[in-house]
Amino acid sequence: MNLLLVTGLSGAGKSMAVNALEDIGFFCIDNLPTGLLPRLVDFALLGESQLGRVAVVLDGRGLRNVGQVERALVDLDEKKVDYDILYLDAGDTVIRQRYKATRRKHPLTISDGLPIDEAIAKEREILRPLRERAKYVIDTSLLSTAQNRERICALFLDAGQRAMSLTILSFGFKYGLPQEADIVLDVRCLPNPFYVPELKEKTGLDQPVVDYVMAAGESHELLKRIEAMLEYALPLYEKEGKSQLIIGVGCTGGKHRSITVARLLGDFCQKLGYAPTVQHRDVHRTA
């Protein structure tokens, strides 16, 4: 088990961090009472649990005093569990502004009836042992949500892993646009195998259809320009913090041209270092 303790001040961005960690393959548990941490570790160490990368959030909601924090760390040390600590921090003024903007209450304001300044100070003291032992500390005071996510992904992505999942979906316009698509490409301008008797009943999964569509010079030119656009745009989507991008490629019926181009774009994106999923929504649909 690869255990990561995610902690830090309430309002410093732990929820965003957990979302980013889930997107890159962590099994995340939010607001775990410290008394359950040893049991979670025991369960995770069992072979049948199949838990690999685990992120557990410990913060002021479940930790009431410094003693609880120190006991939790001692329990982990006694079990000889390898773990790292990610601590999210922010300035007091920033924390106050964030709570004011969201109109939410600090957890210690709710549980102990403390004013916001006292709640922040008390939480800092409770979490001090975690802060002192943290391997990773991120001050989110001046970071946007996208920048914070980018920092998390850069720290914890496996080698070769991308922060954004990519799906390329072929479809037929006659059956409606894919509502989930972020980008829609229309390839109805390419030569249509539907009007070639020996190709009509085949699909873009068959090589004769691919050969027919790509025999035209305009097909190669359009594909080249789409590839150039994706090569430039995909890193920008990742930088902006997008966790999933769906590219729709449409022709009239979703059987010939769209499948052909979707497959070729899948191969191209794979060469760029992505691991795209290529799906064909309407390949088996009948009129």
Question: What would the pLDDT profile of 236-265 be if each residue is shown by its tens digit?
Answer: 998 887 878 999 999 999 999 999 999 999
Paired strand residues for 85: 5
Most confident region among 2-11, 53-62, 254-263, 275-284 by mean pLDDT: 254-263
Greater confidence, 10 or 142?
10
Are residue 201 and residue 257 in the same domain, yes or no?
Answer: yes
Cβ-based burial of 205 (10 A; exposed 0-12, middle 13-18, buried ≥19): middle
C-alpha 163/C-alpha 20 separation (Å) is 8
Beta strands in 106-188, from DSSP E residues, in sequence order: 136-139, 165-172, 183-186
Task: Pick the range with the lowest mean pLDDT from 49-58, 93-102, 275-284.
Answer: 49-58
pLDDT value at position 159?
A: 61
Residue 193 inside a domain? The answer is yes
What's the domain range around 259?
Answer: 165-280
Query: Residue 160: its pLDDT value, please?
Result: 66
14 burial type by CB count under 10 A (0-12 exposed, 13-18 middle, 19+ buried): buried
Q: Are residues 15 and 151 in the same domain?
A: yes
Q: How much is the average pLDDT of 78-102? A: 91
Q: Is the pLDDT reported for residue 286 higher than 80?
A: no
Domain boundary among 135, 156, 177: 156
- When divided into structural domains, the chain yields a total of 2
Higher pLDDT, 121 or 43: 121
Do 172 and 55 share a structural domain? no
Please write the tens of the pLDDT for every residue from 3-28. Answer: 899 999 999 999 999 999 998 889 89
Among residues 105, 127, 156, which one ends one of the domains? 156
pLDDT at 218 over 60: yes
Query: What is the rounded CA–CA span in Å between residue 287 and residue 267?
Result: 29
